[in-house]
Structure 1
Amino acid sequence: MTRAATSDQWRQFQGATLNFISENTAPTAAIAANTKPFTDLTGIDVRIVTLELTALVQRVALDLASGRAQYQVIYADPYQVLAPYQRGLVDLRTLEADPNLPKLPGGVGDFIPVQMDAAGRFVDPTAYYALPYDAPTMIWQYRQDLFAKYHDRMANDLGFDPTPGGDRTWEEYFKIAQWFNKNATSDVKYGTGHQARQHDSLMNDFSNVLWSYGGAYFDNGKEVGRLGARDPGPCRLDSEAAIAGAEFYNRLLSIADPASKTWDWDGVGAAFRSGRLAMCPNWHEFAASNELVMPGKAGYAVLPKGPVATANMYGGTGVGISANTMPNERGAAWLFLVWATSPETQLANLKSKAGGGTPTRTSVYEMPEVRAAEKRPSPMPNMLTAAAVREAWTPERIGLRPKIPMWNECNTAIFTQLSTMLSGAESPANAMRSIKSRVDQIVARGWVA
């Protein structure tokens, strides 16, 4: 790849081709449907490969080990790519500081701070290896039409205001679900549904409850989630708080739609849209599908609080550059990162029929047309969740799983044992102790890329 002699920073790599490997997410779907604006701006052709996350991680690991980048731009999942392969990614400060390359509009400071740390950094609080690209976050999704219909009756029967929001507790959520099970079967089959299949989705769904009960995977859980750690120390799932959280989660699933144990996020999302459930915790970006299928019927709020804390699982990811890229390839890849995460592109993604996505920049949320889209009728349906996710992204509410190199293996141990618990084969206390034992073995073995 040669560098053209031009005063236009955006045209210096014209004629080049970049390969971008990504999970099939909303912003990538929107960009893949229309790469023309980037090519017109830069003269660079972008080829996008989208894969399921597990396959993407395997492909990236092989590419990083090869010593020569087939994929210059990488969708760097914080837990399965950034933490284990951080040394294979470029420290983007070097490109931001290059006077021959365009700067990030608004600088790093325009990205939502907790997302910049969680999706972009690892251990070192100053270096950054990815730019926040998407921001799926778990929130409370509910049938606001049914909550309005039954509000007074529920309030009278339950003795509290059932309106979803951060003031509700998980115990109240349980009672609301139980009330729907008994009193509203003509409208919905079940009060709640969950993504409790033996899958990554189960760990996500459970973690919201775990943290709200004061449980943690490791000591200094918020720091290990936000910046990460190479060695997080002993697992703490055998604590009284963690066991209490597991006991409640097990009890909650006992009154949830029984199909919950077969669902990941797509399954519970489809069940909610079909009118089967009164409410569920799920990723906020399902709002776009909800509004398409049942316009005006869904409401969105932060998840309930527990006895100790509150938590809304964050599942965002950044985009980074392979350290195997040659200098000029890095420059071209930087142009793509700057463009793909720019306010203009994030706004276009919000409007896209092919994608949607959610902005990761503060400035986008301040745009008048984006603010207006927070109310129905909305041309950007994911923005109907904006009030909920803004609250969910505050440091005290965001839920961050451990960002450690060996997380993928730990995650498998967690959701496998949780599934055993939900089947009734093991008590919550024994399940937590079993997970702790297995995770300690994994962590003690360390990580070798």
Structure 2
Amino acid sequence: MTLSRRSLLRAGALGAGALAGGGLLGACGSGSQPAPVPEFTGGDEWRRFAGTTINFISENTAPTAAIAANLQPFTELTGINVRIVNLELSALVQRVALDLASGQSQYHVIYADPYQVLAPYSAGLADLREFIDADGYPPLEGGLEDFIPTQLAATGTFEDPDKVFALPYDCPTMIWQYRQDLFDAHGDRMRDDLGFDVTPGMERTWEEFFQIAQWFNAHVDEVVAGVGTQSKQHDSLMCDFSNVLWSYGGEYFEGGSEIGLRGATDPGRSLLASDEAKEAAAFYQRLVGIAHPGSRSWDWDGVGNAMAQGQIAMCVNWHEFASGNEESLPGQVSYAPLPHGPARSSAHFGGCGIGISGNTGGAERGAAWLFVNWATSPQTQLANLASAAGGGTPTRTSVYELPEVQAAEQRPSELPNMLTGPTMEVAWRDDVIGLRPKIPMWNECDTAVFTELSKMLAGQQQPAATMDGLARRIDQIVARGWQA
């Protein structure tokens, strides 16, 4: 399905070079339909498109690094050649948007970020049920039911739950990462001084998290600061703040978490001017105020490096930094769910799926599906988990049930990301997982959020005024998206 160039240009006008907007959703060009997939005439279903070459465009992610380092098993299985293009996410979004609008298909398999690709461009992606439910293809092992349900909905669907535009490919989620050695060394004194159990976990409150960080600042010389945050004027700031927002009972829109799970073209009114959101902003400002001085220049890599270098005692970061922690500080870093606020504990989910360009036709369309099927299969996810090139963590329940994966949740572990396994079981629960709004115009909303929060952290405006202004700004963005 071709997206019109006019709609693409409208979308590009909406948001800071994001090429994303409401006018694009559902817009279709008048170009010809893609060529049909050649009929299956028998034989090995995996080999039916042997000799075909396909292109996979992806963000620079751990699973893609692992697959790129070991494509031979897929090539031997299928006879299909895969060329991988790795890009920073904003560059990927622009290339995908232009490719979809062209009516052609330079990129056959697409890393479909739910917020910057799936929501604005779902009309240009193939519904994967075309392949899942068809004869002539190898079955999807374990079926859709094997994917963690919240991840399948969040990364693969948009508004219509019966259409699947992508299969869950990666699942980074924010959790509490802390220096176990320092908590062991100082925990008893810290507990006596503070008057509460300091063991990290969702039993702690955000206020207690703050007090623990402050105690490290005052009493421990082994680290520069008790906590580091990813508060750079960047997407990371929105991600970091959102954990606090949701735990305080705040929401971005009236539709709440359902908009993150299913997506929406019309998300309703912004709720960022609520008392809950203002309280969350005030707390976050206080937290950054006692954090490592580098925090306002750090994204997730910055705070991850600070943890690995021993500069901070704890942080909130994506769980897949565990492998790097284990390499830099072997046996010294542990993991726990995030603290709770007045409403709940919330763990920001940042996973993405992979899908197929709707412009892809002929043998390339079928070959693209074979790659999506293989790249998200239990066997490939297990291989990625063990890959020296990266790997990420699985999105399938069956992989977590394997004895070798469960054994890796304890040290010594040959699969260090699995040290987070018990924490992730909690973080992905329906009542804990945090989902940002899956709407066509989210990219511009995201930019507004981290820009205004950055001003707040710089002391240029107060938390209440920041949230009031953000609510008005986001309502304008959403309304403009409808008018485009």
1:446 Cα deviation after fit: 1.5
> Do the aligned partners of 2:110 and 2:355 also contact (CA within 8 Å) in 1?
yes
Question: 1:430: which partner in 2?
Answer: 465
Q: Which residue among 360, 382, 404 is the counterpart of 1:325?
A: 360
Question: 1:101: which partner in 2?
Answer: 137
Question: 2:269: which partner in 1?
Answer: 234
Q: Which residue among 44, 59, 65 is the counterpart of 1:29?
A: 65
| 2: CA distance, partners of 1:79 / 1:200 | 12
Q: Output one character per residue of 1:220-277: Cα deviation in whole Å (capped at 9) or x when no partner.
A: 2110010010010111100001001000101111111121000000000001111110
TM-score (norm 2): 0.91
Question: 1:213: which partner in 2?
Answer: 248
Pairing 1:74–2:144 present = no
Over aligned residues, Cα RMSD in angstroms?
1.1
Question: 2:222: which partner in 1?
Answer: 187
Letter in 2 for 1:317: C
SS of the residue corresponding to residue 287 of structure 1 reads: helix
1:352-367 alignment runs, 5 A limit: 352-367=387-402
Question: 2:431: which partner in 1?
Answer: 396
> Do the aligned partners of 1:179 and 1:191 also contact (CA within 8 Å) in 2?
yes
| 1: CA distance, partners of 2:95 / 2:39 | 28
> Do the aligned partners of 1:215 and 1:239 also contact (CA within 8 Å) in 2?
yes
| 2: CA distance, partners of 1:262 / 1:302 | 25
Between 323-332 and 4-13, the greater mean CA deviation after superposition = 4-13
SS of the residue corresponding to residue 75 of structure 1 reads: strand
Question: 1:342: which partner in 2?
Answer: 377
> Do the aligned partners of 1:20 and 1:71 also contact (CA within 8 Å) in 2?
yes
1:40-439 alignment runs, 5 A limit: 40-184=76-220, 186-439=221-474
> Do the aligned partners of 2:52 and 2:363 also contact (CA within 8 Å) in 1?
no
| 1: CA distance, partners of 2:46 / 2:432 | 39
TM-score (norm 1): 0.98
1:159 Cα deviation after fit: 0.6
1:356 Cα deviation after fit: 2.1
> Do the aligned partners of 1:11 and 1:43 also contact (CA within 8 Å) in 2?
yes
| Percent of pairs with identical residues | 64
Question: 1:12: which partner in 2?
Answer: 48
> Do the aligned partners of 2:230 and 2:302 also contact (CA within 8 Å) in 1?
yes
Q: Output one character per residue of 1:355-408: Cα deviation in whole Å (capped at 9) or x when no partner.
A: 121100000000000001111111111000111111100010000000000000
| 2: CA distance, partners of 1:363 / 1:241 | 38
> Do the aligned partners of 2:38 and 2:362 also contact (CA within 8 Å) in 1?
no
**TM superposition outliers: structure 1 runs of 4+ over 3 Å:** 1-6
1:447 Cα deviation after fit: 5.5
Letter in 1 for 2:339: P
> Do the aligned partners of 2:323 and 2:416 also contact (CA within 8 Å) in 1?
yes
SS of the residue corresponding to residue 104 of structure 2 reads: coil
Number of aligned positions between the proteins: 448
SS of the residue corresponding to residue 85 of structure 2 reads: strand
Q: Output one character per residue of 1:122-172: Cα deviation in whole Å (capped at 9) or x when no partner.
A: 011221100000000000000000001111101101111101011011000
1:26 Cα deviation after fit: 0.4
Q: Which runs of 5+ in 2 are unaligned?
A: 1-36
| 1: CA distance, partners of 2:304 / 2:191 | 27
Letter in 2 for 1:277: I
1:327 Cα deviation after fit: 3.8
Q: Output one character per residue of 1:393-427: Cα deviation in whole Å (capped at 9) or x when no partner.
A: 00100000000000000000000000000000000
> Do the aligned partners of 2:64 and 2:391 also contact (CA within 8 Å) in 1?
no
1:328 Cα deviation after fit: 2.6
Letter in 2 for 1:45: N
| 2: CA distance, partners of 1:447 / 1:60 | 22
1:101 Cα deviation after fit: 1.0
| 1: CA distance, partners of 2:135 / 2:84 | 28
Q: Which runs of 5+ in 1 are unaligned?
A: none
Question: 1:446: which partner in 2?
Answer: 481
